[in-house]
Each structure stands twice: as structure tokens, then as C-alpha cells.
Chains A and B, each alone.
Chain A
Amino acid sequence: MRQKLINGLVGIFVAMLLGAGVMVMQGYQPIETYLALFNYSLGNWYSIATTLRNSVPLVLTGLSASVAFASGPVNLGQPGQLLMGALLATVGGLYLDLPPAMLLPILIFLALLGGALWSGVAALLRYWFNMSEFITTLMLNMIADFFTYWAISYWFFDKAAYSPMTPPINQNGWMPEWGDFNTSVIIMFIAVLVVWFIFTRSLAGYEWRISGQNNLFARLGGVEIDRNYMWVMLLTGALAGLAGGLVVLAGPHRFIKDIGANYAWDGVMIAMVANNGIVATLLYGLFFAILQTGALGMELITAVPSELIMVIQAVIVLVVVAGRGYLEILASKLAERRKMRERAI
């Protein structure tokens, strides 16, 4: 636990140091820049509320990737599943006219369904034809990207708009706001809790975790690998779909082109730094939301391009992951030395 914390903090520190180096090289003030960044994402209630809202897709896609990787399936399809969830929720919001108490749950369900359908395609391809989900989910991402682009350019195109997007959805389907805070955050926390419970407390979660670590052992132990695989794919697809749905319902209230582009690899990235842990995924998801939200402020105030954050994020991934391996080697070296000393006594 402490090792994980040290590893994470060191990774973040090194990455930000490298980022500072880049800034100095190009004549910016690093401290001022970082202050601007954190001030913009955490400086007041409104900023915090915005950061929290931005964390929703990050945490949910991260959760999707974490649960998938920890259970075995290499589901890299969060971007595609997110888009399909967003599209289905949008379509529901365009055509259904119900009071909020009914419409909201239905739209959230549609978002879950959209993601699950898309990951279900990959799962079935694996189940029927033994096609590795690792490549199929990637290809399905591209296909979902073009498909939704087409859908909003032709099928559900808003005739009043100049660029591809759908008309706004029924107002009853907007996620309510409490002051500055958007309720999509509550849905996110509920999702984290539910997933945590399934993963660590349920019989199925136990089987998923063991299968993810040693598939053959689980199989010989009587675990039904194929059925579990299906459930994991569907659940993780649904989580990514939920992320997409909430982005639409909480934000622009319509499907705009490139709505998911910002989150393309973020889920996978967060799962990796979090080492597929549920709580760690939540924490890193929040932290990356702070960085991404603050990036805009950083650009506005100090003229450092917000794209720098993309570099820093990637460096955090590399440093944290490498550090994890290195710390393990170090721990085993230390144990060896301790034993040598014991022998001498």
C-alpha cells in the first residue's frame, strides 16, 4: 500500500519535473504555470465542480479498462463503446418524451446498453471465432468512430447546425445540476461503488480476479471461463457506454462530432497507472481530470499550450509503470541483503 503511494507520487513528481524542464527550455515559468493549472481546476467551488464533471468519463472508462485487464479480457474498446453509449442515449433523448424521473433512468440504461452492445460484438467474435478482442476492439473503435460520424451527419443531423451534430435532446433528459455540481458525478460514484462490490465481494468477482491472474488454474478449479468472459466484456462495455451517455446528458445535451476524442486512450492509460485497482483508478481518474481541466486555464493565463498535458500524462504512465517494476526488484534485493546479514549473526 505504502509502496504504491510512493510509486504514484514519485511518478507524478518526475513527470511534472520533466514537464517543467520542457517549459524552461521554451522560456516559460514552470511554477507560475503549474499554479495557474491547479488554480484553474481546484481554485474555487465552480472549478472543483467542473473538474468533478470532467472526471466522470475518465473514471468510468478507467474503471472499464481496469476491471477488464484485471479479469483477463484485453478490452481496448472504451473509445468505441463510449461513442455507442453516447449515441444510443442521445437517440433516446431525441425521440422519447417522458417526465425526468422516467426519462433519466431510461437514458442511462440506453447508454449502458449501447456500450455493452458494442463490447458484446467483440465478445461474440471471440466466443464464436476465437478472434482476439485485443485487435477486434481496436478495429471496432475506428468503425464506431466513423459510424457515429455518419449517424450525426445524415441520420440525426441537426439541420440548423453548420457542423455535424444532433439536435439537443429532450430537456427532461438533462442531468440535473445542484448549484455548480452536476449529478452525473453521483452516478459515477455509485458506479464505482457497485463495481468495487462486485469485484471484491461477490463470487463472480472472485472468479474474475483469479482468472485474470491465472486462467488455467481457474479453469481447472471449475470456473466457467467463457461465461465469465462474456459478463466481463458486457460490464466493461456498459461502463464505457455509461461514460459516453453521461458526457452527453451532463454536457452539451447533444452528440457533437469528436465528443469522445478527448477520452480516446484515457481509460486504458488510467487503468495502467492504477495497476487495475478500483480505488486507485478513481484517484488517478480524479487527478487526470485536474490536469486536463487545469490545462485550459494554464493556456489562457500563461500561454503554455494545453497539449503539454498530454505529454505529462504519458510520462506519468511510463514513470509510474517503470517505477513499479523497479521497486519490486529493489524490495527483493533488500530482502536478500537482510537475509545475508541474518546468516552472519
Chain B
Amino acid sequence: MKIAIGLINGMITAATPILLAALGGTLTFYAGIFNIAMEGMMLAGAFFAVIGSYFFNSWLMGILFAVLASLVMAVIFILFSVVLKTDEFVTGIGLNLFALGATTYFLRQIFKVKGAFSGPGIVSVPNIEIPLIKDIPLVGEILSGHNLIVYLTLIITIWVAYLVFKTRFGLRLRAAGYNPTCLDTSGVPADRVRIWSLIICGALCGLAGAYLSLGYVTLFSENMSAGRGWISLAAVILVNGNPWGIALISLLFGFSDGLGLFLQRVLPSQFTSMVPYVATLIALFVYSIRRKETVLS
């Protein structure tokens, strides 16, 4: 029983950053942008979350810094791909490299360390105990006591689903992806919608980064996003952008992550660390088999 609860909680914890970044990614996906900069945005967020939290002794400032840093990345992306019409793929890779280089440099420059920085000065984002629910056996252990950002993520998932499918912004957002010329001639510049989708994506990736360095653990280490941005991109592609599908896929990845930890009892850690990446490959495989059944040739 304990193991099961541990696995479920591990699943939720590991799923959160992937889900947050993927929700951001799905907005740009609907807007027709090939956005692969989530990895870099998340990394920048994670680093600046530590900066904000450490220097102001406040997790709120940490989150604020994370979101701002990630927004700066989004603005650069906008400048390059929307304004200068640079290739999106190249821009994304360039930004990811930039985030990796800049965080590594500043880590060295500001904290005078190589590899990782942790310290008592970093204030982490608190966990929330939900009154009443926390006292229910089992259910309480699963539903209560998670990090604040976990609950935020739940709300954001609902919000993104509402935004995409029910609102004016959503109608225009999807139109920008389906046929930008049509949106332009309807009197709404498609570029403006794209810019907004990138800004929201930036904010969400920043939050994902803050969760990595102030929630998941309380430290920053070089390249700590460790491919999560890419996994979130895979999640978006797998379910064609549907926010609920993304939530499900993220939980599956979270589960594989938890499973990896669990398997450490029998396997060397190098193999258990591979699990999420192997899981991504398996998910892509299942997706391709399913698609084969519906699409010939």
C-alpha cells in the first residue's frame, strides 16, 4: 500500500513540470509554431527561480523571477521567428543553447560553483495541506500535501482547455494554426495571436522551471531540465495538442519516472534513469501503430 501511494505521489511530482511545459507548448502548437524552445525556457526559469528565492528569501520572488526569465526567452523567440522570420527550428535550438550557456555561466559567475548550487538561503515553494481532505485515509495522502505549483498546474490545465476550446482567443489561436491567411483576412493578424501564445508558453515554462528548482528539489544544477522540454514536446505531438490528453500522457511519464526510482532496488541506477526516455519511445511507437491503422500508405 505504502509503495502504491509512493508511486502515485511520485507520478504526480514528476508529471508536473512536463505537464506545465506541454500546456505552454500546446498553445504554440495550435498557433502553428514549431516551438522547441521549451527546454531552454524551463532551464532559464529553474535558474532564475533560485536567484529570486535566494536573494529575496522568498519563494514568491523565485516564481516571479522564473516567469520573467522565461518570458525574456519567449520575447527573443518572438523577435527571431515572428519578426525576423528566422527558421523556428534553428531559433529554438539556438535559444536552448543560449539558456544552457547563460545559466552555466551565471552559475559560475554569481554563485562561484560548478555543477550545482544548493544552500539554506533558497526558500522552496511550500506544500499545501488541504483541510478536511487531508484527514481522509489514503485519499488524503494522495490528494493533499502536494506542492503549491502542483495544484496550480491542475487549475492551469482546466484553464488551458477552456481557453483553447471555448473562448474567442481559442478560436483565433486554432485558426492561426489551421490557416493564418484566413485569420489575417478576417481582420486579426495571425502574428499577434502567435505572439500571445508564445508569451503564455513562456510563462508556463517559467513556472515549470520554478517547480524543478524550488519544488521538486531545492537546488539548481547545470542542464537540470534534462530533456523534459523535449518530452513535453513529444507529449504535445502524441495527443495532437489536446490538453486533457497531455495531462494523461504527462502522468504516464511521471509514472515511468517513479517506476524508475522503484526499480533501483533491482537494477543499476543508469538503467532506471533511462526509463522516462524509453517510455517516450514506447509512447511514440504506440502512437505510430495507432496512426497506421487509421492512415494507409
Binding site for B on A (CB under 8 A): 26, 74, 125, 129-132, 135-136, 138-140, 142-143, 146-147, 149-150, 153-154, 265, 268-269, 272, 305, 307-315, 317-318, 321-322, 324-326, 329
Contacts and interface: CB of A to CB of B under 8 A. Distances in A.
B291 A130 contact: yes
Contacts of B76: 318
B91 A129 contact: no
A15 to B, nearest CB: 11
Task: Rank and list the top 3 A-B pairs by shortest CB-CB distance, nearest first.
Answer: A310-B101, A150-B270, A314-B98
B86 interface: yes
Nearest to B284: A131
Interface residues of B: mostly helix, strand, loop or mixed? Answer: helix
Contacts of A74: 89
B98 A311 contact: yes
Given A146-B273, A314-B94, 19 more contacts: A130-B292, A131-B285, A138-B230, A140-B281, A142-B277, A143-B274, A146-B271, A147-B270, A150-B268, A269-B97, A272-B93, A305-B109, A314-B100, A317-B93, A318-B76, A321-B86, A321-B91, A321-B94, A325-B85
A321 B280 contact: no
B196 interface: no
29 contacts: A129-B289, A129-B292, A130-B288, A131-B284, A135-B230, A135-B237, A138-B230, A140-B281, A142-B277, A265-B97, A272-B90, A305-B105, A307-B104, A310-B102, A310-B105, A311-B101, A312-B101, A313-B101, A314-B98, A315-B98, A317-B94, A317-B97, A318-B80, A318-B98, A321-B80, A321-B91, A321-B94, A325-B87, A329-B85
Nearest to B104: A307
B95 interface: yes
B21 interface: no
Interface in B233-281: 233-234, 237, 268, 270-271, 273-274, 277-278, 280-281
Contact of A154 (B85, B268, B289): B268
Interface residues of A: mostly helix, strand, loop or mixed? Answer: helix
A142 B285 contact: no
Interface in B83-124: 84-87, 89-91, 93-98, 100-102, 104-105, 107-109
A131 B280 contact: no
Contacts of A309: 101
Contacts of A312: 101
B269 to A, nearest CB: 9
A279 to B, nearest CB: 19
B248 to A, nearest CB: 18
Contact of A313 (B97, B233, B274, B277): B97
A325 B81 CA distance: 10
Contacts of A311: 98, 101-102, 105
A326 to B, nearest CB: 6
Nearest to A130: B288
Contacts of A322: 80, 84, 86
Contact of B234 (A129, A135, A150): A135
B109 A136 contact: no
Contacts of A129: 285, 288-289, 292
